[in-house]
Amino acid sequence: MITVFSQKDAFAFDELTITSKHSTERELMDNAGRSIAQFIVETIEDPFNQKFIVLSGPGNNGGDAIISHYYLNLYGVQSELLLLNEKQKQSWIFKQYSIDADTLGIYSDECRFNPEYWYVDGIFGIGLKRTVEGRYKDVIDKLSDCPNMIAIDIPSGIYCDTGTIAGTNLQAEYTLTMGHPKLAHFFNEGLEYSGDLHVLDIGFKQLSKTQDYIQLIEPEDAGNISPVHSENSHKYSRGKLISIAGASGYTGACILAVQAAGKTGAGIIKAIIPESLNSIFETALIETITIPIPDNNSGYFSLENTEDILKEVQWADAILFGPGLAAGKKSAEWMADILKKIQQPLVLDASGFLPLIEKKIQFGDLPPETILTPHYAEFSRIFNMDVKKVWEDPISAVREIISILGGRVLILKGATNIIVTSQGELLLMNYGTPLLATAGTGDVLSGILASAVVQGLSVDDAAIFGTYLHAECGYQYEEITSIMGLTATDLLLMIPYALESLKYVH
């Protein structure tokens, strides 16, 4: 996994590297400036026939920019340095590095920017805490029409810990971050405006305890924990799964989840469904055993069905609960009655959150081995948070509820998934494609997760494997079919290809 830094983490690690005498501050800045220049020479097409403008603001980010300008000129690249404040000329950098006066300028209101040039954004770095105003806002606004932007650490105007905009911001084609990715690269506008992210090694001290930090999941992390079965395996040894899902109008959610579980490798699946809908499920779920529960032709479960459902649940190795369940009057009551008595590992999704939202159960009533998979709106309802607050600062929102989970795993679904492990650690899964943002793909994820659990993965490993496999299905669709038009049904067809691809990443 890759360690991801918050603003506080990054500053503390800078300090640790320096105070431990692993590297001095000036060595780190020299390495940063040189690495930025080397990236430009090695990556930008025909760099020696391009024009580069290096923009330097306050702080070490601006210092890195100045040093990168020095190395660009040293390498023969046509570069000009534009300082945002004349006082920057008093920095030690100008004493240590020979900056040709002919390549140096000071920003003024008369400055204009040519969209044909390349710009190195060293205006603000990870330390930004205020709204962008004054000359800094003027510069950023003027640069908005310039597409060739290379940001140092974070595009200027983006807050490090949330990825939200500080009034105005730049959009980068490339972002070159030092040592470790930052939270802003994965959330809100920071995800959208960071462009192609590259992590530069500038000589930081090695981390001794990576578990103290947020981690980004890599392909190897999923590939190394894929379910493995012996040659003597049979359908029962590959896991017995029961789904409690589906209602009138929402049969598709159950069908998608159950089919996903089957394609991911679950050995045998039973679907507990309302009796009046049995013909629909029998037709769609060829490989699945349906267990019709009398429903008085209503198309959904009620309190009267509790005992019948609990009797069937005992058979299973794991339970999938929620996709497509009706959320009508007194639904929370019968769901709560069942959830309190489930002892097997549980994947809880969609309508299955209703008892938590209506406070009919507490998290302590759920099995210890539970995976919850809310999206942002569901998360805000479960934990009674302002959804706007969750969107703007999801990491802080998730950190607030870790103790409430009591060791249960939670996946906050979004463009970047946030996983809370059973140990309270935070993992990020950012491998997904925007193609997955369609109805029903979340049900497919629930089925994949349930299948991983029933095949013997821990709830932590299932969350890692399941979210990555789900994302890989999207990329398999892009490669095999199209970059457009993905539906949840298409996603199901990609599961075998995604499973095959994971065999070759470890």
Q: What angle do helix axes 441-454 and 251-263 make, rounded to 10 degrees?
A: 40
Beta strands in 349-483 (DSSP E): 370-372, 409-412, 417-420, 426-429
* Domain 229-416+437-457, CATH number (from 3.40.50.360, 3.40.1190.20, 3.55.50.30, 1.10.630.10): 3.40.1190.20
Distance of CA 91 to the CA centre of its chain: 39
Q: Residue 482: CB partners within 8 Å, gap ≥ 6?
A: none
Q: 2-215, which class in CATH?
A: alpha beta
* pLDDT tens-digit readout, 331-359: 999 999 999 999 999 999 999 999 999 99
Quick one: tokens of 236?
Answer: 């029962």
Nearest to 470 by CA among 284, 256, 282: 256
Quick one: tokens of 228?
Answer: 């493995």
d(CA 57, CA 310): 64
Q: Tell me the mean pLDDT in the region 37-65.
A: 94
Half-sphere exposure (CA, 13 Å, Cβ side) for 163?
Answer: 25
CB 281 within 8 A of CB 254: yes
Tell whether the model's pLDDT for residue 121 goes beyond 90.
yes
**Cα–Cα–Cα angle for 477, 483, 487, nearest 5°?**
60
The bridge status of strand 318-321 relative to strand 346-348 is parallel
Quick one: tokens of 138?
Answer: 């003027």
d(CA 84, CA 88): 8
* pLDDT tens-digit readout, 317-331: 999 999 999 777 789
State the chain's mean pLDDT as an integer. 93
Q: Tell me the mean pLDDT in the region 235-258.
A: 93
> What is the predicted pLDDT for the residue at 502?
86
Instruction: Give the DSSP letter string of 9-43.
Output: HHHHHHHHHHHTTSS-HHHHHHHHHHHHHHHHHHH
Percent of the chain with pLDDT over 70: 99
Q: Three-state secondary structure along 85-120? A: CHHHHHCHHHHHCCCCHHHEEECCCCCCCCCCCEEE
First-to-final CA distance of the chain: 13
d(CA 363, CA 339): 10
| Tokens 């008369």, located at residue | 110
DSSP 8-state secondary structure symbol assigned to residue 368: S
Looking at the DSSP assignment, which residues form a beta bridge with residue 4? 214
Tell whether the model's pLDDT for residue 506 goes beyond 60.
no
Domain 2-215 matches domain 229-416+437-457 at the CATH topology level: no
Q: Residue 344: CB partners within 8 Å, gap ≥ 6?
A: 313, 316, 317, 318, 319, 367, 369
User: Which sequence spans correspond to the domains of the chain?
Assistant: 2-215, 229-416+437-457
Give kind and range of the element (H or E) at residue 63: helix 59-74
d(CA 7, CA 5): 6
d(CA 247, CA 92): 70
d(CA 464, CA 221): 7
* pLDDT tens-digit readout, 257-303: 999 999 999 999 999 999 999 999 999 999 999 999 999 999 999 99
d(CA 373, CA 364): 17
Percent of the chain with pLDDT over 90: 82
